[in-house]
Amino acid sequence: MSNLIRLGDHTTKIGSGQTPQGGYRAYTQSGIPLIRSQNVQMGSFSEDGLAFISQAIDESMASSRVLPGDVLLNITGASIGRVCVVPDGRCPANVNQHVCIIRCAETLHPEYVATLLSSPEFQKLIWDRQAGGTRQALTKQMIEDFELPCPPVDKQRQIAARLKTQLAELDAAMTVAQTQAQDIARIRSRVLQEVFAGLQDVPHKVLGDHATTTSGTTPSRGNKAYWSSADIPWVKTGEVAFAPITATEESVSRLALAECSLSLLPPKTVLVAMYGQGKTRGQSALLEVQATTNQACFAILPNDTWNPDFLYFWLMASYQDLRDLSEDRGGNQANLNGALLKALNVPAPDQDTQGRIVERVRAALAEVEAMQAASRQMLKDLEKLPQRILAQAFDS
């Protein structure tokens, strides 16, 4: 970078705030805003989690009051380097000790400085110049010694305005891409529901009457012999996630299989997660290897009534119904169990019909997966663009 200036020579104030005496107990429901590190996002000010202090405490912390147009820089912790400009409508306000106020002199435009500090070059510099032991920190001297390119203020204003417009356009594009990704995710559910909605008139059979089912267990963690010889893949509910299972995070020994009431399940066994965190409950998967499971997995062994892929796809289409079924049980935890799953009334057309349905679903899901892959790549590319734009803008 050419025409570099020292930041401390072109500011009227560089300094952080303080925590009010009494800490969070001094916070009030309303009053003077106390800006903390969570309010300083990269390039924007966030109202989320804004704290307040009384007028009297604000007067005792007069040295850390902010003005409209001040540049705020996080100087400690995991959010170090996040930077924004104080909005016009957010004063009077104060900052705590984790936020540094950079008040520009007439030779520097605040938006230009904030945008420059958020660029990849300065973010790397900030992370490289941390002080302290285990806690990341920037000191006042470090910030004063930052070297910045300093074109005329009008030029700075133009650069900041152009970049603000470009980044706003990227934000809008990101929002559109995220909405598209959500829409694509819903398509899979609609495809499955449409396919199986046409099977209302075919014969239905009770799952437990026509298929062998089982579940597993968790061998004692205290017995190393059950785990030290990783012979057999062991499935946990977190791995039952609407995808074929070809490998697992953990395996158990053959001794565990013999002594711990575990069944060796063949490939094409269909699994259902009976309980688990978040969206796990009710998800299904198809085993592609011999494996065993923990106690939260319900296993449906291959049988003559249902094509394994057909059953897997039907369970996938029935995901919300399974979750609703477990919710209806009441109690503290909405879990599925073997009795509920064995009682499921599953469509059972002839094998040829099941095979045709499987091919139809596979083709439709392949198209959805292609759209999802393109959507994921688009989001990745968009996420990289802000830093690329900033890097190009300040590249000497």
The stretch 362-366 carries a mean pLDDT of 90
Nearest Cα to Cα of residue 97 among 73, 120, 119:
73
Residue 127 has pLDDT above 50, yes or no: yes
Residue 8 has pLDDT above 50, yes or no: yes
**CATH fit for domain 203-348, picks 3.40.50.10800, 3.10.200.10, 3.90.220.20, 3.40.50.150:** 3.90.220.20
Residue 292 banded pLDDT, cuts 50, 70, 90: very high
pLDDT, position 328: 59
Mean pLDDT of the chain: 88
Percent of the chain with pLDDT over 70: 93
Written as six digits, the tokens of 152 are: 């005329």
The stretch 189-213 carries a mean pLDDT of 92
> What is the C-alpha to C-alpha distance for residues 70 and 110, in angstroms, rounded to an integer?
7
The residue ranges of every structural domain in the chain are 4-150, 203-348
Q: What residue has token string 């008040």?
A: 103
4-150 and 203-348 share one fold: yes
Residue 209 banded pLDDT, cuts 50, 70, 90: very high
**Residue at 259: amino acid letter:** E
Q: What is the pLDDT of residues 158-189, one digit of tens each?
A: 888 888 788 778 778 888 888 888 888 788 88
> What is the C-alpha to C-alpha distance for residues 147 and 3, in angstroms, rounded to an integer?
9
Written as six digits, the tokens of 151 are: 């074109």
pLDDT, position 130: 67
Residue 250 has pLDDT above 50, yes or no: yes
DSSP 8-state secondary structure symbol assigned to residue 20: P
> For the domain 4-150, what is the CATH code?
3.90.220.20
Angle, vertex CA 301, rays to CA 296 and CA 307, nearest 5 = 120
Residue 389 banded pLDDT, cuts 50, 70, 90: low
- pTM, whole model, 2 decimals? 0.60
pLDDT, position 1: 43
> What is the C-alpha to C-alpha distance for residues 155 and 168, in angstroms, rounded to an integer?
20
pLDDT, position 380: 80
Label the pairing between strands 213-215 and 250-252.
Answer: unpaired
Q: Name the more confident of 331 and 188.
A: 188
Within its chain, how far is the Cα of 260 from the centroid?
36
> What is the C-alpha to C-alpha distance for residues 341 and 334, in angstroms, rounded to an integer?
14
Other CB atoms within 10 Å distance of the CB of residue 142 = 17
Percent of the chain with pLDDT over 90: 55
Label the pairing between strands 345-347 and 204-206.
Answer: antiparallel
Label the pairing between strands 147-149 and 32-35.
Answer: unpaired
